[in-house]
Amino acid sequence: MSDIMTFFTANMPASVFNQLFEESQTAENACPFLTLIRYPEQEEVDDWGTKAPIQDFETGFLGKSDDELRQYFRRFLSERPGYKQGNIGGHWMAELDEHSAIESTIVLHYGMKKSTWDYMHEYEPEAEIFADGKLCDDGYIWWKWRVPFKYSYSFYISIECCDFEVMQLFCRPDYRDSRGLIDYETCDKIIRREIPDPLQTVGGEWDESPDP
């Protein structure tokens, strides 16, 4: 399992990241999964995720847009030798922004190669990219969600390890507000088959016939 390159796009105390780390690690089988990049010229990268506690610092990514973060992300992976990349993977970014300290939320970005999308939809080429997915200059389709700290690791694992339909579940407007904040608890109950999926695409069909 690879780690997620993580940025501060607003200045905030280190205690925000420390809180994020502590809350995310309460998930079952959790491990460090966020690698913090403090400024663009940073040479040293944590090999297996950044662990709390960290100390206060001034971010070098203040106010950066999604496009600017992606551009840095791709340059980092293409220009640095592998041994200087830590364990950072090529499909995820994370962002702590001006809302993170107030709401205890993190923005998680996930990218899928357009070629992968095309392969998955070989027999339905008319399929539209769902939700706010955006085809970007790096050849990836990117989605993003705002996730409560305590569910951030669990959400990451759900997208990484579950079926494509689970990612679509997290994109449904019933479980995601206009700012992208997800209702993780309800989605998790659907994934675990504690409650039925109204669309019956996650967890299969439920037998609603009465007990004999």
Phi, psi of 173, rounded to the nearest 5 degrees: -60, -20
In angstroms, the CA 124 to CA 98 distance is 40
Residue 45, domain member (yes or no) = yes
Residue 212, domain member (yes or no) = no
pLDDT (tens digit, 9 = 90+) per residue, 22-70?
999 999 999 999 999 999 999 999 999 999 999 999 999 999 999 999 9
What pLDDT score was predicted for residue 1?
Answer: 80
Residue 210, domain member (yes or no) = no
- Domain range for 88: 3-191
In angstroms, the CA 129 to CA 121 distance is 10
Our count of domains for the chain comes to: 1
Helices (H), ranges, the chain: 14-24, 66-79, 100-103, 114-120, 152-161, 164-171, 184-191
Whole-number average pLDDT of the chain = 94
Residue 13, domain member (yes or no) = yes
Residue 202, domain member (yes or no) = no
Residue 164, domain member (yes or no) = yes
Residue 68, domain member (yes or no) = yes
Mean pLDDT to the nearest integer, 3-8: 99
What pLDDT score was predicted for residue 212?
Answer: 46
Residue 211, domain member (yes or no) = no
Burial class (CB within 10 angstroms; exposed 0-12, middle 13-18, buried 19+) of 209: exposed
What pLDDT score was predicted for residue 210?
Answer: 47
What pLDDT score was predicted for residue 208?
Answer: 58
CB contact at 8 A, 180 and 107: yes
What pLDDT score was predicted for residue 162?
Answer: 86
CB contact at 8 A, 14 and 45: no
Burial class (CB within 10 angstroms; exposed 0-12, middle 13-18, buried 19+) of 90: middle
In angstroms, the CA 127 to CA 123 distance is 9
